[in-house]
Amino acid sequence: MEFRKNASIQPSGISKRHLECTTLATADDRQSYPIVTYRKFLDWSEKTLQRAIGKSLQTSIRNSRNIRLVEKQSEECLRRK
């Protein structure tokens, strides 16, 4: 799933458990970064996002303007929920 920053998202067919077990990655960088929850991320301002994730990722986000959510391949995470 790809979307532009600040876009309105309706993630149909994705359960809350999956959203909580999701990692954030930039479209141009395949490395994933853990994020708290999908819903909380959408509410964060750019300044909060910068503090939470770090300056280098924020720069990458600003450059690409695209963020995609990458589901973790961790069954343990889904089982814990």
Q: Is pLDDT at 25 greater than 50 in this prediction?
A: no
Both structure tokens of 18: 């999956």
Going by pLDDT thresholds of 50, 70 and 90, the confidence category of residue 76 is low
Residue 21 has pLDDT above 60, yes or no: no
Task: Tell me the per-residue pLDDT of 31-44, one tens digit each, with 9 for 90 and over.
Answer: 444 444 444 555 56
What is the pLDDT at residue 62?
Answer: 54
Question: What is the rounded average pLDDT of the residues 58-69?
Answer: 51
| Domain edges within the chain | 14-80
At 31, list the tokens.
Answer: 């490395």
Whole-model pTM? 0.19
Q: Is the pLDDT of residue 11 over 60?
A: no
Using the predicted structure, report yes or no on whether residue 28 has a pLDDT greater than 60.
no
Q: Give the span between the Cα atoms of 28 and 20, in whole angstroms.
A: 23
